[in-house]
Structure 1
Amino acid sequence: MDFKQLRNPVWERSDNLRDPSIYKTEEGYHLFYSRYSNKDWSRPENWAIGYTFTKDFVHYEKDRDISAKGFASPGDLILWNGKYILPYQSYPETPTMLCYSVSEDLKYWSEPVFFLEEARNLPWNQAERVIDPTFVVDGDRLHCFFVGTDRMHYERATNLVGHAYTDDPELKKWVITTAESPLIGASKAAPDGAENVTVYRKQDEWVMIYSEGLFEQHLAYAVSPDLIQWEFKGKIDIEAQNWITVRYGAPYVWKEEECFMMILMGEDKNNHTTFGLLSSQDGIHWKMLKENKSH
């Protein structure tokens, strides 16, 4: 399809749309997201995993919730042992935990199965909460990036990124490689940490893009040969547009035939969140689609 004809934001609703994730098939694009309603962050009934389908990022159909209320932040949909698995989290009631649902047809989804519960007790995860799962399949091994929180040792609540992997087809036995310290912690560029990781393959290396900072959120990236050792490269500069006036984050990247595409959550001056698209020839430097001038 010709993405150059599209205009940002490519999708907006009366609800706040957050945490997008794309699964591309021959038929089109399956879009999973967090549906946040009624402007009360603390109530579980205002959160759910939403789903819609689009062939062109202009017309959207089958928009519905695929989870019960009280869940958010869908990660990378994967094929694992012949079934589709979508990771997400319980939210906002404590304890906040990681879970996934299973589907055989991308239409009907199982009840949530909780996993990696031991990540709540990591020494750097002071708040004992686990959010923002990202799945990455590498051969017979499944990697999971996740986020914990420390509300005690920093000036404000700080999100920290951890990593685990499993060779278990049942996803029950995990090895946490960041048991003693997080993969991404607080930094000068982001004193309140990081969240919302997306990981993809670029030739002979892996690339991670993530939301750096919470209060002044932006994008940053890192590269790795093996999904374990990472070299952090710093901030990604992108063009300013009205739909991202306040902040932007929660990136998801996928590969088209001629380029990489990113779907991004942006917050405008009215604190409403929508989705827009960026493209990249090399998977590192990103260009916004043109903006709808009426937005």
Structure 2
Amino acid sequence: MNKLFSFFLMLFLLGSVAVFAQDYTSKVPRFTFGNQPEEQQKQLKDNLLIKRFQQSRKELSVDKHRPYYHFISPEGKLNDPNGLCFWNGKWHLFFQAYPPEDPRQHWGHAVSSDLVHWRDLPYAIYPGIERMSFSGSTWVEKDRVIAMYHGVDAGNMVAISDDPLLLNWTKISDKAVIAQPDPSEGLPYSPWDPNIWKKGDKYYSLMGGNLYNGPGGKKVRANFLFESADLQNWKYLHPFVEGDRYSYIGDDGSCPYFWPIGENGKYILLYFSHKSGGKYLLGDYDQVNDKFNVTDGGNFNHGPASRGGVHAPSAYPDGKGGVIAIFNMNTGKEIGEGNYTELMTLPWRLTLDVDERLQISPAGDYSSLRGRHSSVSEMQLPANNEFTLPEISGNAIEIDLTLDPKDASAIELKVLCSPGKEEYTRITFYHDGGYLNRDYSGPAIRTSAISIDNLNSSISDKVDFRMPETADVQIKDGEPVNLHVFIDRSIVEVFVNNRQCVALRTYPERDDSKGVSIISHGKDAVLKSLDAWQMKNIYQ
């Protein structure tokens, strides 16, 4: 009887293991590629997924809001960008993709030589050990690229690739390298969105999260640091950032990216907050105690995280003191409307000025996409008179204009305008209209501000309108104001003097919502110059 009981107990336990050790193998076709560039190119030419992506892009191109020159998934939706890196002379962008036959998170993959034109590649990292392959980052070594990411229901994972186009990825273990801790251990972290780098002979991983150690026990952003000598065995060290006063109560530190920036030893930590969107911290890296001492911080998203905001970052140094960053923009329409929900911003180049303030400019050279050119020569802008610019029109267009605001309190540019103003998106520069920059470390200076407002951008009842996206920007007395505007069907990005950027989703419904007008509020101003180009479609 005891032997029979033992036999059935063994069968029960084996069955239990089978139930809980689930096989999450993806249903998406997977391919192994050669290790020589010529061989890979030949294989890609006839690859089933590449042909499927090409057909999907063709079919989805009929959507009036689908962008021409911002990156978007070739099929279905996307979410966070992941593991942006430079390898073998090319930029590689990975992203949360949802293949139609298995819509769990996989790592999608695209490659570019100029950060402007993107080429689709097959899915890179597939779920298998993990239920879904969530967000993470990459670390580039001389002979390989290391990806560290969150595997849902497993923990944080490591995969490695070393081929020319990073087509073949191998997970280094049949389990997570950082597993979910036992609650009895009393550890503060939960595996999430890891960032990876190397210092000396040790690897470091920074994990997103938060702690209940804010005022009144409220949640605040926290990022947890780990150390490893071999990528498989990781030791928890401590919270990486202390004394940060730039994050909001309720922020978390998801999708962290930690890199050197500038020429004076400064570092930047980019991250995503599920409350307030894309954010950053600047400061000094204490490499003895492995702590980040924050000296400044701010937002890439200037409002709530959702409804058409700047979402999660992926970032990598450009080798010239700057950091290239790209963000997904979440949807501003009801979920389920259209054939996608999110797209990527243009790649931004982040640098520091002489006062170690963050500067933001377009990372790529977009002259290769410029088509028909239109321009407006210098013209006076008498106060409170709106001027329609008939020469300038389009919904996939680049506009580069320079203003002398003189004493005007605000200058407003309407874009994506219908002839009767039933639809328009408002871009407003508020001259000396930002916060009083008073930290008692120097003279009080009134900043200017840049704002995008989409409240009148669409007549559709499916659009979720967003509060105006408004950010400070410092403009010196007498300095010309440059607005570099990128409009791409359902996204508007505005760079101001290569110091600040605001971005917003917008969904004009009318086919004739393509006009542009300008008005100076309060007092006269001068439009010094305006150039505009129709932009080509990078997917055709």
User: Do both proteins adopt the same fold according to a TM-score greater than 0.5, normalized to the shorter chain?
Assistant: yes
Partner of 1:254: 317
Shift of residue 257 of structure 1?
A: 4.1
Partner of 2:92: 30
Distance 1:186 1:268, change over 3 A: farther
3-state DSSP of counterpart to 2:141: strand
Partner of 2:350: 280
Partner of 1:116: 178
Partner of 2:508: none
Report the structure number with the largest CA radius of gyration. Answer: 2
Amino acid at match of 1:138: K
Query: What pairs up with 1:62-81 in 2 under 5 angstroms?
Result: 62-68=121-127, 70-79=132-141
Shift of residue 156 of structure 1?
A: 9.2
Distance 1:36 1:209, change over 3 A: farther
Distance 1:17 1:111, change over 3 A: same
Partner of 1:3: none
Distance 1:117 1:183, change over 3 A: farther
The answer as to whether partners of 2:260 and 2:268 remain within 8 angstroms in 1 is no
3-state DSSP of counterpart to 1:215: coil
The answer as to whether partners of 1:190 and 1:212 remain within 8 angstroms in 2 is no
The equivalent position to 1:132 in structure 2, one of 193, 199, 203, is 193
CA distance in 1, matches of 2:273, 2:160: 32
**Is 1:107 aligned with 2:177?**
no
Distance 1:84 1:206, change over 3 A: same
**Is 1:220 aligned with 2:280?**
yes
Partner of 1:207: 267
CA distance in 1, matches of 2:198, 2:171: 22
The equivalent position to 1:54 in structure 2, one of 96, 102, 112, is 112
Q: Deviations over 1:131-167 (max 9, x none)?
A: 111001122221110124669x99998763111222x
CA distance in 2, matches of 1:219, 1:20: 16
The answer as to whether partners of 1:245 and 1:269 remain within 8 angstroms in 2 is yes
CA distance in 2, matches of 1:119, 1:77: 25
Shift of residue 11 of structure 1?
A: 0.3
Task: State the TM-score, normalized to the length of structure 1.
Answer: 0.75
Where is the helix percentage greater, Structure 1 or Structure 2?
2
Shift of residue 293 of structure 1?
A: 3.8
Q: Deviations over 1:191-221 (max 9, x none)?
A: 2422211111233425233335312223121
CA distance in 2, matches of 1:100, 1:55: 26
Q: Let me know the Cα RMSD of the aligned residues.
A: 3.8
Shift of residue 8 of structure 1?
A: 9.1
CA distance in 2, matches of 1:88, 1:253: 16
Amino acid at match of 1:139: G
CA distance in 2, matches of 1:219, 1:279: 15
The answer as to whether partners of 2:281 and 2:297 remain within 8 angstroms in 1 is yes
Amino acid at match of 1:61: D
Shift of residue 25 of structure 1?
A: 2.7
3-state DSSP of counterpart to 2:280: strand
Distance 1:218 1:107, change over 3 A: closer
Partner of 1:19: 81
Amino acid at match of 1:235: G
The answer as to whether partners of 2:310 and 2:329 remain within 8 angstroms in 1 is yes
Partner of 1:143: 204
Partner of 1:41: none
Structure 1 stretch displaced more, 201-210 or 114-123: 114-123
The answer as to whether partners of 1:160 and 1:184 remain within 8 angstroms in 2 is no
Partner of 1:4: none
3-state DSSP of counterpart to 1:198: strand
Q: Say which structure, 1 or 2, has more relative contact order (CA 8 Å, 6+ apart).
A: 1
Distance 1:83 1:183, change over 3 A: farther
CA distance in 2, matches of 1:239, 1:191: 15
3-state DSSP of counterpart to 1:132: coil
Shift of residue 269 of structure 1?
A: 0.9
Alignment length, in residue pairs? 273
Partner of 1:86: 147
Gaps of 5+ in 2: 1-66, 336-340, 364-484, 491-540
Partner of 1:269: 332
Q: Deviations over 1:73-126 (max 9, x none)?
A: 13123328x4432101112x4xx510111223222111363213375656463x
